[in-house]
Amino acid sequence: MAQHYSGGMLAIYPDGPACAGCKSAQPLDFEFSYAYQPIVDVHRCSIYAHEALVRGVAGEPAPTVLSRITEANRYQFDQACRVKAIHMATQLALDTMLSINFMPNAIYRPEVCIQSTLAAAKECGFPIDRIIFETTEGERVNDGKWLCEILREYKKIGFLTAIDDFGAGFAGLNLLADFHPDILKLDMDLIRNVNQSKARQAIVRGITRICEELDIRIIAEGVETVEEAAFLADTGIALMQGYLFSKPLFEDSGKFDPAFCLA
């Protein structure tokens, strides 16, 4: 499968049988870029991963880009996002895990639609076992079993998998019962003021125990205060992401401030 990549544009030209999305793929008629937000390990005092978050070419917020996605270009956009995230991470010399959001509704056949990602990783020398695939924030997935099928295929290839926004929308216990991801990301609404809410604390502790039994790592999203971080760390959650540590940095990876290390 040959591909042409230029900035935010990607065209795929299949050499053989492929799904309908590949056959109809055309270059996007707009470009985009990325901001990278670190995911911090507060126990190891280091950055565990960076999440690639789509932005406009001048740093405009994600909705300015996502508003241009249609049913006609969803597949092309999803493919271009993967390739650009890997290319830019390589340019930034990221030596951490790289978390890439993907659109389950844009995937026709997981084993075919992943080929451009594998090609980009090979071209850049970026190890696939350092790539985490997580569902795109806010994308509604009506078929949880289809999402599980996609994630199983990615896990079989060697990628890490993550269920994003756990506790919100479709990302609940039923999905977790059908598939055991490598990582579960707790929804930021569950994390907000968790240190002051007995109900939130009980839920977080319960999910933590479940994940320990299933050998799933937890990332707490949307951590904004030292008090939230301290409660989470005491509960056994080491991986955190949020404005307390760093906002998403446009075309940059940022540095870790050891002041946020927790014993």
Residue 256: per-residue pLDDT? 65
- pLDDT score, position 112: 85
Q: State which fold the 2-245 domain adopts.
A: TIM Barrel (3.20.20)
Please tell me the predicted confidence (pLDDT) of residue 16. 37
pTM of this prediction? 0.86
Q: Is residue 259's pLDDT more than 70?
A: no
pLDDT at 147: 81
The structural domains of the chain, with segments of one domain joined by +, span 2-245
User: Do 102 and 162 form a contact (C-beta atoms < 8 A)?
Assistant: no
Which pLDDT value is given to residue 8? 36
**Given this model, what pLDDT does residue 263 score?**
52
- Lookup: tokens for 263: 């014993």
Q: Which tens digits make up the pLDDT trace of 56-94?
A: 999 999 999 999 999 889 999 999 999 999 999 999 999
Phi, psi of 87 (to 5 degrees): -60, -45
pLDDT(14) > 70: no
pLDDT band at 95 (very low <50, low <70, confident <90, very high): very high
The per-residue pLDDT for range 211-226, each reduced to its tens digit, is 999 999 999 999 999 9
Confidence class of residue 230 from pLDDT cuts 50, 70 and 90?
very high
With a cut of 70, say whether residue 241 has pLDDT above it: yes
On the question of pLDDT at 168 being above 80, the answer is no
Question: Residue 261 above 80 pLDDT?
Answer: no
Please tell me the predicted confidence (pLDDT) of residue 29: 87
What integer best gives the mean pLDDT of the chain? 85
Reported as a pLDDT band with limits 50, 70 and 90, residue 26 is low
Q: What is the pLDDT of residues 127-164, one digit of tens each?
A: 999 999 998 644 555 556 788 888 899 999 999 999 88
